[in-house]
Amino acid sequence: MGYLRRHPRAVPYLLIAPGLIWLGLLFVVPLYYLLSTSLQSGDIYEGFRQTFSWSNYSEMASQYRPQLVRSIQYAAIATLAALVIAYPLVYFIARRGGQWKSLLLVLLIAPFFVTYLIRTLAWQTILADEGLIVGVLRDVGLIADDGRLLATSFAVVAGITYNYFPFMALPIYVALEQFDGRLLEAAGDLYANPLKAFLRVTLPISLPGVFAGTLTTFIPAMGDFVNAQLLGTPKQYMIGNVIQSKFLVVVDYPLASAGAVMLMALILVGVFLYARALGTERLTG
C-alpha cells in the first residue's frame, strides 16, 4: 500500500496487468500461432513443418470461394433481417414499454440464455417438412407441395438471424433508451409528421446503436457453422463449416488455419474502418 501511495501512476497498470497478460497469452499469441500454422505444410503422417508457403491461402481462396462468398451473403442478409425485426421491437419497448419496460426486456433477452444448440434444434422442429409452418405455407400456396423450409438457405439464414438477434437488439435499445422522450414530443410538434420526426430525431439518435448492432451481429454470423450444419445442407455450408471440418475432421491444420486467418482478416478490416469512424472508446463503452 505504501508503494502505491508513493507511485499512484502504477495503480492502473497493476490493475490491468493480470487481465492483459491473460489476453496476450491466450488471445494474441494464439493468433500468431494460427498465422504461423497457416504457412506450414505437410500431413498428419509426416507432421507439419514451417515452410512459409502461401499455397494454403490460394487453395482456400480458389477451392472454397463459394463458401467464403456465401458466408458474407448469409451474414449480410441475416444482419439486415435482424435489424428489420429488432428495431421496431426495441423501439416499442423503449418508447411504449412504460412500467412493463424491464419485464419486456427480460422476455427479449432470456430466450438467448437457453443453450444455442437447443435453440437451433428447436428451429429444426419448427421448420420440419411435416411441421406446422410448412403445412400452413403449403395450404396457402406460398410453397409448393413438394417444397420445404428445412435444409434450405432460408432455414440457415433464419437460424442465424434468430441466434444473433440480441446482438442487434441490445445496442439499439441502449441507444434509444438514452434519449429523452420529451425530445420526440417536441420533434412531433415541430415536424407535425411522425415519420419526419422519426427520420430527423429518433433515427439519428439510434444510429450509433444500429452501427454497433450490425457489427456485433455480422461478425459472429460470418463465422457461424452450426446453423448451416443443423438447418442446411452442403449447398449451404459456410466458411466456418470448412474451417471446422479441416481442423477437426480432415486434420489439415495449415489449410484450416489459412481459412481462419482469411476470415479474421476480412473482419479486422471491417472493425478497423468502424473504429476509425467511431473511436475506440465507443466500442467498449
Contact 222, 263 (CB under 8 A): yes
CB closer to another protein out of 78 and 86: 86
Minimum gap (Å) between residue 231 Cβ and another protein: 11
CA distance 56 to 43: 13
Q: Please enumerate in sequence order all residues whose Cβ is within 8 A of that of 79, keeping only pairs 6 or more positions apart, or say none.
A: 168, 214, 217, 218, 221
Minimum gap (Å) between residue 177 Cβ and another protein: 12
Which cell numbers in the block locate residue 193? 409528421
Minimum gap (Å) between residue 196 Cβ and another protein: 12
CB closer to another protein out of 140 and 284: 284
Q: Which long-range contacts (CB under 8 A, 24 or more apart) does 241-245 make?
A: 241/67, 242/60, 242/64, 242/67
Nearest 10 degrees: CA dihedral of 144, 146, 150, 152?
A: -70
Minimum gap (Å) between residue 140 Cβ and another protein: 17
Minimum gap (Å) between residue 60 Cβ and another protein: 13
CB closer to another protein out of 113 and 182: 113
